[in-house]
Amino acid sequence: MERHPPDPHRFLPLTHLEYAVLLCLSEEPMHGYALVERIRARSSGLVNPGTGSFYSIIKKLNDDGLIAELDERAADRRRRSYAVTQLGAAVLQAEANRLARDVAAARRVRAVSPGRGGAR
């Protein structure tokens, strides 16, 4: 029996932290601390992942097959590194498309003047 890959849309919507993790890992594999630093920098400090919530998101994304822990036996095991999987990249793209549609809708709403049915 042929097995089909999971539909990326079944993972949507992502939380802002899930999205941030996948986005960072799509650039390059990295360990948890580097991920937190990249997320903070990218958001100009608006997203500041707490340790508990961050590592529960990492576990969830790993369990769902969206990221994978890299096998780095020679490296320090306290610094686990992660990479986005093919499914994770597809989910990230689906979420980016969903967000782009939301932004386009928000721009259309803002473009509606009060005299044409838009509330302000």
Task: Spell out where the chain has E strands.
Answer: 30-31, 67-69, 81-84
Q: Average pLDDT of 39-62?
A: 93
In this predicted model, what pLDDT tens digit does every residue of 24-42 receive, in sequence order?
999 999 999 999 999 999 9
Q: Is the pTM of this model over 0.75?
A: yes
Instruction: Please give the structure tokens belonging to residue 42.
Output: 């990218």
Cα gap 15→8, rounded to integer Å = 15
User: What residue spans define the domains of the chain?
Assistant: 14-112
The CATH T-level fold of domain 14-112 is Arc Repressor Mutant, subunit A (1.10.10)
Cα gap 78→51, rounded to integer Å = 14
